[in-house]
Chains A and B, each alone.
Chain A
């Protein structure tokens, strides 16, 4: 108990770090995931190939390896001088976007073919059809898998702690190195994660109820 009260500032900082990193990389993953899903169902073959390559690359690479690449390869080959936080954001966001993409694509596949045919018959372009007709109707069936993906993202963000980004799991290392009882530290850290993941599943349950499309 005392560990928490004595180091409330550390825990709070770690908790906020986790929340911010999860939110930011979740947002990045959402945007990238939806765009890449659009690529994957596009009538343009190069876009489809790019989408498939993206998903194959990021879904099949261990996240820790992506972190290592963000830390030691990206600065050398692409952009130098990124802060650790930005590098963690990119690694988490890109990794998670592959999963978001596949969830969104499965949602797209649940929308009856006739909806797209009707939209195209009216003269809508592919992107109009996707944006105005398909994605809004795909949303509901994507909510449940997305909830799981974001919960996984929250927990995956712990890896950033090992790369000296301030977040909840990193607090554990900090305090246990100072010799505090590890069981208590873990308990408080775990509770911190539970608060975030429960909020996510609650939010998504709410969304699911709101977004019913009657057929």
Chain B
């Protein structure tokens, strides 16, 4: 538990990194995001939870504009999200994204996966990029797998490579879209440990997850979403022990007691 307090103290010296203001989005008739206001401070770890279909993945994907929004504004480090094009690409390079289905490049080795963004987007020198890639792979514990292809790795290993790939860009903020939902139970922990470590090191993180344990131990703030709205935001202990809204209470009662 000591790890957690470190992460929480970091927030004291923070400013606003990601700001969503009255964001709305529809999928056809479905109003999937309804007037979302959310501010994430530098160094903050925000965990988004909620029942499936509540819009939490969509929310995560709007932040690097993998999903467009119908109205409202999203700013990252003071800059509003630009339209599709060069400028958006530059901004995306500063926002790390980790997907539920890993999405490692299937035709590239693990090492190449982690080098590609550095070389092609950051225009880094190849030797330097390889050095950095190898040290990141070591850091997430898959250094020995560098020359294998993604399909030869377990799900947990693939997801850790995906985290290394995102980190290689030196992102300002990391988005995690249900990073452990496609993993076998025994592999969930190895991924969560890497994420815990990142949180301790002060990375700004937005994590959509069903892992309540992670939310409790690593989050500075829990955002609870239901039916396209943010129903409740609170510090994790407060949220899990004493939720204010009925909807959150109902949700927690369903998942915490079997």
Contact = CB atoms under 8 A, between A and B. Distances in A.
Is A bound to B?
yes
Among B91, B99, B107, chain A packs the most CB atoms within 10 A around the CB of: B107
B210 to A, nearest CB: 20
A213 B99 contact: no
Contacts, number: 71
The 10 closest A-B pairs by CB, nearest first: A123-B93, A114-B103, A118-B103, A122-B117, A121-B97, A214-B151, A123-B121, A123-B92, A123-B89, A213-B107
B120 A137 contact: no
B106 A125 contact: no
- Grouping DSSP codes into helix (H, G, I), strand (E, B) and loop, the B interface class, with mixed when no group exceeds half, is mixed
B101 interface: yes
A176 interface: no
A80 interface: no
Size category, B interface:
20 to 34
Interface in A161-215: 213-215
Interface string B187-215: 00000000000000000000000000000
A152 B104 CA distance: 37
A74 to B, nearest CB: 37
A214 B121 contact: no
Contacts of B149: 214
A132 B113 CA distance: 11
B90 A137 contact: no
Interface of A: 43, 112, 114-115, 117-125, 128, 132-133, 136-137, 213-215
Contacts of A112: 101, 103
Contacts of B64: 121
- Grouping DSSP codes into helix (H, G, I), strand (E, B) and loop, the A interface class, with mixed when no group exceeds half, is helix
A122 B169 contact: yes
Contacts of B92: 120-123
A15 to B, nearest CB: 38
Given A118-B99, A122-B92, A123-B92, A214 B104 contact: no
Contacts of B89: 120, 123-125
A45 B134 CA distance: 41
A118 B97 contact: yes
Contacts of B12: none
Given A120-B89, A123-B90, A132-B120, 19 more contacts: A112-B101, A115-B105, A115-B106, A117-B103, A118-B103, A119-B105, A121-B66, A121-B95, A121-B96, A122-B92, A122-B116, A124-B121, A128-B121, A132-B116, A133-B105, A137-B106, A213-B107, A214-B106, A214-B151
A124 B105 CA distance: 13
Nearest to B122: A123
Contacts of A115: 103, 105-106
Among B64, B90, B94, B105, chain A packs the most CB atoms within 10 A around the CB of: B105
A211 to B, nearest CB: 9
Contacts of B169: 122-123
B5 interface: no
Nearest to B118: A122
Nearest to B92: A123
